[in-house]
Amino acid sequence: MTAYIPNILFAILLTLGIGFFIKNVKKLSRNIKLGRDVDVSDNKTQRWKNMARIALGQTKMVVRPIAGLLHIIVYVGFIIINIEVLEIIIDGLLGTHRIFAPLGSVYDFLIGSFEILAFLVVVSVVVFWLRRNAIRLKRFIKPEMEGWPKKDGNLILYIELVLMALFLTMNAADFQLQQLGAEHYVQAGAFPVSQYIAGLFEGLSASTLIIIERAAWWLHILGILAFLNYLYYSKHLHILLAFPNTYYGRLKPQGAFSNVESVTKEVKLMMDPSADPFAATDDSEAEPEKFGASDVMDLNWVQLLNAYTCTECGRCTSECPANQTGKKLSPRKIMMDTRDRLEEVGKNIDANKGDFVPDGKQLLDDYISREELWACTTCNACVEACPVSIDPLSIIVEMRRFLVMEQSAAPTELNNMMSNIENNGAPWPYNQMDRLNWVNE
């Protein structure tokens, strides 16, 4: 019975790790569903293509070659090394060691590939750390990146570095044990990287090497389970959400705005003298309870999914002309603020047994200022730059819509322009009869 204690302990820890992960996924799903419903069932073929091209193929990452190549290395390493994690889980549950070893040369190729990828991930992580902390690229030192976002970005790099180091250490000790002919440590696997680390273990006894190998094995798998549950609290949630986010991404031309059906109908009635203004309307064209958005519950669920998917890479902000000219607007901050407010709302619901109790706060003013919203030029540069199809502009437009249609709180210049359009049919303060007077001058 004593021999099975490690397997039982492993099964308990695995169950707890996966259980907490499922709990976090349910909370994430609940929060996203707080948003308004929106129909994104159209053009499924194009949506699948976008997901394959952008999320799986990383096509928008390589627009910036250095960061793109390094990210692909880390991404591929993360995906492929999960095969090794599968072996560890099976070994942990069954009490076996390298259960896939009978695959022979195929297994040697896999382990060798994992090691090379692990080494490349270490190199990439070091370069990423230097870009953030030594070179201090401008997009990583914006005001919204102070505090937790900066710590989170570095912590992720440290975790990845430690996990890869543990993997290589485990293999190095295993390699030495294979050379010694230790029991259970059959000749299996190729170790193109860890064989050089194994030199540090020369002269150690088999019992000491087993302790090192087992310690690295346990720490590696426990670290992966901890990382899995840390994702919910980290910008690295995009590892999971990039796929659905690119699938549900915007398909319309970027210059096309979404219109409120009731407003569209009213405008058409105004432009059609033969239309009956008192004709019955369909329920789908009824006036909404609220125009635009002042809080996260007013946004649709795709926009909330966008907020959780944000990688905080800052490409959107670095491309934003308003931000480049010193304006307060940062598209990345818009997404981070939306996510932070959504998390606050989620905690409120948890604390009140499933019901949201008004807390006197909202996304508008408490998180995102009006100055930020009106600084946007609606140029779509942020949307084009995002590597995972996030649309910060859609949130900005919805909040502007609320300010204009619910509070009549547009800037003076915009109010003057709209008045001129209403009265003169153009944004200028001249009636139609006087428009060509400048020719006489």
122 assigned to some structural domain: yes
pLDDT value at 147 more than 90: yes
241 and 163 share a domain?
yes
In angstroms, the CA 137 to CA 133 distance is 8
Question: Does pLDDT of 1 surpass 90?
Answer: no
Rounded Cα distance between 416 and 348, Å, is: 41
**pTM for this entry:** 0.89
Number of domains in the chain: 2
Bigger pLDDT: 267 or 138? 138
CB 291 within 8 A of CB 218: no
Which residues lie across from 36 on neighbouring strands?
Answer: 300
Tens digits of per-residue pLDDT, 20-57?
A: 999 999 999 999 999 999 999 899 999 999 999 999 89
Domain boundary among 247, 270, 295: 247
Which pLDDT score is estimated for 278? 65
CA–CA separation, 419 vs 402, rounded Å?
18
Percent of the chain scoring above 70 in pLDDT: 97
Q: How is residue 104 written in tokens?
A: 């022979």
Same domain for 185 and 277, yes or no, is no
Provide the mean pLDDT of the chain.
Answer: 90
**Are residues 180 and 319 both part of a single domain?**
no
12 Cα distance to chain centroid: 30
Give residue 341's domain range.
Answer: 261-424
Domain-located, residue 39 = no
Asked, for residue 310, whether it belongs to a domain, the answer is yes
Q: Do residues 301 and 363 share a domain?
A: yes
The CA distances from residue 427 to 262, 317, 402, 420, in Å, are 24, 30, 22, 5
Residue 32: Cβ-neighbour burial (10 angstroms; 0-12, 13-18, 19+) = buried
Q: Which of 153-162, 365-374, 421-430 has the lowest mean pLDDT?
A: 421-430
In this predicted structure, the answer to whether residue 346 has a pLDDT above a threshold of 90 is: yes
Domain shared by 232 and 345, yes or no: no
370 falls in which pLDDT band (50, 70, 90)? very high
pLDDT for the residue numbered 326: 94
pLDDT at residue 287 tops 80: no
Q: How confident is the model at residue 418 (pLDDT cuts 50, 70, 90)?
A: confident
Q: Are residues 338 and 217 in the same domain?
A: no
Does residue 351 share a domain with residue 215?
no
Centre a 10 Å sphere on the Cβ of residue 173 and count the other Cβ atoms it contains.
Answer: 27
134 and 234 in a single domain? The answer is: yes
154-180 average pLDDT score: 92
Per-residue pLDDT for 280 more than 60? no
- CA separation, residue 409 to residues 327, 337, 371 (Å): 20, 21, 12
Compute CA distances 215 → 209, 229, 334, 401, whole Å: 10, 21, 43, 57
Paired tokens of 418? 């709209």
| Percent of the residues in the chain that have a pLDDT greater than 90, as a whole number | 63
Mean pLDDT of the region 284-297: 82
On the question of pLDDT at 283 being above 60, the answer is no
Whether residues 156 and 26 share a domain: the answer is: yes
Task: Tell me which of 5 and 209 has the higher pLDDT.
Answer: 209
